[in-house]
Structure 1
Amino acid sequence: MRDMLHEGRKGSTAVRLIHMLVLSLSASGVVLGFAAGFALAIQMNPETADRYVLNLGSLGEWASAIASAAAVLTALWLAWKQRRDSEEKILLKQYSTRDGYWLSLVSSGGRTATVLEVFLTSKRGEQTIALSRPPLVQSGDLPRQMQYGDTYTITADASEYGRIATEWAQAHPGSSIPLLYVVVVTSLGSFEQEINPDFCQSLRTALEGRSG
């Protein structure tokens, strides 16, 4: 779930359904064409029928079976699509400049998302640095329920870089700041993404400045 900036899933459900039906009908057409050609060949050479036809049934039975299979596949796909769309989903958008760092949480799922906490961590989960606490967020902002389309932004002024870097250094004496991930924890799961590289570099610079 790291790459949550991709918003391509906003495509029309109707377009996807039509695409699925076209694929199903195309596959059905291929099979029906094969069956029709096979039946025609048998009619033209009835003496070979006992060699190739054991109990293939009529062309209508084949068409009915193919249509039933296509209907089942379409129903399964629609059920999977509906279940996926009913899940909570949080998109993470990050911006970093000399003046600060902004992390925007955007609710894009079909279910209301309840955001519990936000923190930074390394890939190995060695240490967490809370971002969901004052002064980065207002007291009482979290937990926070987010409907579809709601946006909530956490802001870290450049003056906070030193505190965040020092907090990491205290937990890992003598080590530099590795590649970090921002993690958003909700009531039903979590979403993570690599932190903005400029923000990561700013934390490293702040740590070097305090060490020097």
Structure 2
Amino acid sequence: MAPRYQIRADHDAATIVVYQAYSPAIADAALRAGRFVPPFSFHRMTWIKPSFLWLMHRSNWGRKPGQERILAVRMTREGWEEALSRAALTTADPAEVARAAVHVQWDPERSPRGAALNHYSIQVGVGRSVLRAYTDDWTVSLTDLTPQVRKAAALLRAGRAAQARLLLPGERVYPLPRALEDRLCSAG
């Protein structure tokens, strides 16, 4: 059985992909610029998720207002691990969470149809103090997955789950440095 708290992601030797859902205005501006620019807000925490299916659950496959566009954000593993090194679990002491530049919470992973699974997916809240590093230094590329998401959602609604699965990004265990794994994955 897989560990209950384990990061699964699309990653390679240098990068990891996280997902975010945005309004068309934010997504279009970011895609034109190749990085996050206004109307993206640099004044509030932004949540990044390496689990595609968790974001599909959260955004209702891109159908929730303000979450119609799904972006794959390829970021450096160095930046990802830097963010995690500055994180506090949202279940920690409230004072510690309030001081943390980054927040981490674990939520049940989801099936393509949105059912909660028995293992957890990490959500990472990047706070204002590190947001510019995320957008300007750690982000390598942005990809609009909205057409792929719409096609997969239509296949699921039509009862064609096997075909829909072929459109889902591949995710595998992300090898966290031991100190980060001990701190973030054992307490959940």
TM-score by length of 1: 0.22
Return the index of the structure with the highest Cα Rg: 1
TM-score by length of 2: 0.23
Structure in which a larger fraction of residues adopt helix: 1
Structure in which a larger fraction of residues adopt strand: 2
Work out which structure has the larger RCO, using CA pairs closer than 8 Å and 6 or more positions apart in sequence: 2
